[in-house]
């Protein structure tokens, strides 16, 4: 929640936001054999799960190591909304006592969940003081899938206000004077700071892709409906997506295998095949120019050129295409669909508690209420037109490459950065992957790769080729 420190069950926070932890868990991490484990918090989710399964590490030791990392970095990064160390350790101890099952690929691995998801027993405040005491009694389906796969929920992480407006307290792990992006800011920052190897985020314009790029990690906005959005705070049903954020492509693929699946009770849910462990690389890459090409600054443009050169080096043909000028109307489409949804879902909060909302959030609700049915229908029609045009370009085996963000992470006073360059792919529901691609002025910068509906396998294969060539 903006301006506050995490609520914890075994830690207190003083006025300087410095945590004072109980000593019960602050012991050196050890393996089952008793030998010290080097920096288990640095492990990826895939590597950690393998180490636990082979008996080289316990879940409790891994959770304790992640908590120690949080103790070190949270006073500055401020990624967590609700952290419950003792509960996480108790759950990890139970898992260790019984051992992993075959259907638990994330057995013993700590994860963090954006506070817009329902997480049983945790504060899920949607980034607003209006709902600061909101604690769910049940897990959202996506969270339930993580638990079923053996994951240990470490806590909920900060979102911007209603996942769209005022920024939370989180800072960029690479430079605390810079934004981590919005609205999955806490999720991306926690992963980048190695507080957790995997986090669950959401995107309604660009809130997985942008924070991932700013924080130098991977973020997948999957095919629309591949991961259930039920139990997640809604902004606009036409735009809402759920996706993982991680430090490795293997972890993104693993998360997809856990999270993908049709939800019969989810209105927009669909059955999408999770990415294969090994997939053929793309036969062709399209370097896309537009929409809103004037927004792309030199650092981001250079990242695209580095990525294109790396893909060519990997033997994949890259050609350049410019989207028609009509695609620049995407800003109007996003505005219309998003504001209409915000008014529908959060107008009642504006009426009852408007004085506790930011001015920007009140404005978004009021703008949404002014949108006519004709404008809404027109936006849906234009979104459908964009989808058809892009589908014609994305032949089987084709991946698109384009700028992910305007520039590197902006200074905190300038906000969380623009989501517009990510918005087209959200509107049309195509899978998009944020891929780190170098640095500029010491800050991470990256690109986004896009594939056809349900083509996450080729998307990840393209990213692997890109990284290998880099």
Active site residues: 114, 183, 207
What dihedral angle (degrees, nearest 10) is formed by the CA atoms of 63, 182, 6, 105? -20
Task: Annotate 130-188 with three-state secondary structure.
Answer: HHCCCEECCCCHHHHHHHHCCCEEEEEECCCHHHCCCCCCCCECCECCECCCCCCHHHH
CA angle 342, 116, 407 (to 5 degrees): 75
Distances (CA, A) of 467 to 244, 311, 319, 322, 460: 19, 9, 19, 25, 11
Task: Annotate 102-125 with three-state secondary structure.
Answer: CCCCCCCCEEEEECCECCECCECC
Q: Which residues pair with 399 in a beta bridge?
A: 285
3-class SS at 364?
helix
Distances (CA, A) of 341 to 61, 208, 222, 239, 368: 43, 19, 21, 9, 7
What dihedral angle (degrees, nearest 10) is formed by the CA atoms of 344, 185, 85, 142? 50
| Distance from C-alpha of 232 to C-alpha of 69, rounded to nearest angstrom | 28
Q: Which residues pair with 289 in a beta bridge?
A: 322
Burial class (CB in 10 A: 0-12, 13-18, 19+), 359: exposed
């Amino acid at each position: 929640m903006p301006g506050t420190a995490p609520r914890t069950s075994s830690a207190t926070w003083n006025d300087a936001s410095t945590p004072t932890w109980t000593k019960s868990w602050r012991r050196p991490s050890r393996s089952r054999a008793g030998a010290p484990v080097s920096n288990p918090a640095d492990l990826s989710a895939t590597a950690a799960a393998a180490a636990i399964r082979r008996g080289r590490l316990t879940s409790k030791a891994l959770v304790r190591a992640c908590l120690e990392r949080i103790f070190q970095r949270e006073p500055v990064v401020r990624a967590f909304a609700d952290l419950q160390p003792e509960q996480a350790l108790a759950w990890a101890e139970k898992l260790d006592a019984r051992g992993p099952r075959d259907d638990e690929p994330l057995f013993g691995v700590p994860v963090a969940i954006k506070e817009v998801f329902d997480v049983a027993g945790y504060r899920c405040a949607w980034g607003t003081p209006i709902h600061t005491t909101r604690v769910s009694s049940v897990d959202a389906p996506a969270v339930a899938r993580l638990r079923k796969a053996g994951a240990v929920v470490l806590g909920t992480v900060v979102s911007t206000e209603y996942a769209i407006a005022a920024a939370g307290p989180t800072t960029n792990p690479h430079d605390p004077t810079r934004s981590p992006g919005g609205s999955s800011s806490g999720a991306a920052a926690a992963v980048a700071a190695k507080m957790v190897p995997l986090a669950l985020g959401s995107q309604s314009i660009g809130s997985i892709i942008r924070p991932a790029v700013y924080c130098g990690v991977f973020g997948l906005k999957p095919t629309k409906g591949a991961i259930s959005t039920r139990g997640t705070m809604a902004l606009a049903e036409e735009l809402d997506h759920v996706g993982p954020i991680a430090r490795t492509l293997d972890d993104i693929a693993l998360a997809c295998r856990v999270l993908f699946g049709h939800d019969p009770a989810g209105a927009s849910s669909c059955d999408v095949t999770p990415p294969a462990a090994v997939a053929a690389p793309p036969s062709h890459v399209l370097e896309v120019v537009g929409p809103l090409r004037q927004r792309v600054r030199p650092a981001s443009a250079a990242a695209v050129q580095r990525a294109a050169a790396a893909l060519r080096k990997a033997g994949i043909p890259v050609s350049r295409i410019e989207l028609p000028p009509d695609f620049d109307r995407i800003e109007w489409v996003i505005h219309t669909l998003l504001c209409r949804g915000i008014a529908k879902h959060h107008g009642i909060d504006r009426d009852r508690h408007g004085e506790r909302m930011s001015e920007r959030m009140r404005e978004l609700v009021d703008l949404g209420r002014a949108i006519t049915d004709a404008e809404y229908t027109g936006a849906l029609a234009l979104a459908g037109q964009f989808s058809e045009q892009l589908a014609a370009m994305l032949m089987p085996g084709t991946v698109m490459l384009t700028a992910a963000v305007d520039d590197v992470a902006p200074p905190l006073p300038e906000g969380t950065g623009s989501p517009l360059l990510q918005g087209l792919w959200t509107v049309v529901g195509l899978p998009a992957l944020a891929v780190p691609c170098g640095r500029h002025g010491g800050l991470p910068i990256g690109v986004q790769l896009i594939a056809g509906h349900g083509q996450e396998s080729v998307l990840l294969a393209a990213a692997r080729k890109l990284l290998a060539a880099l």
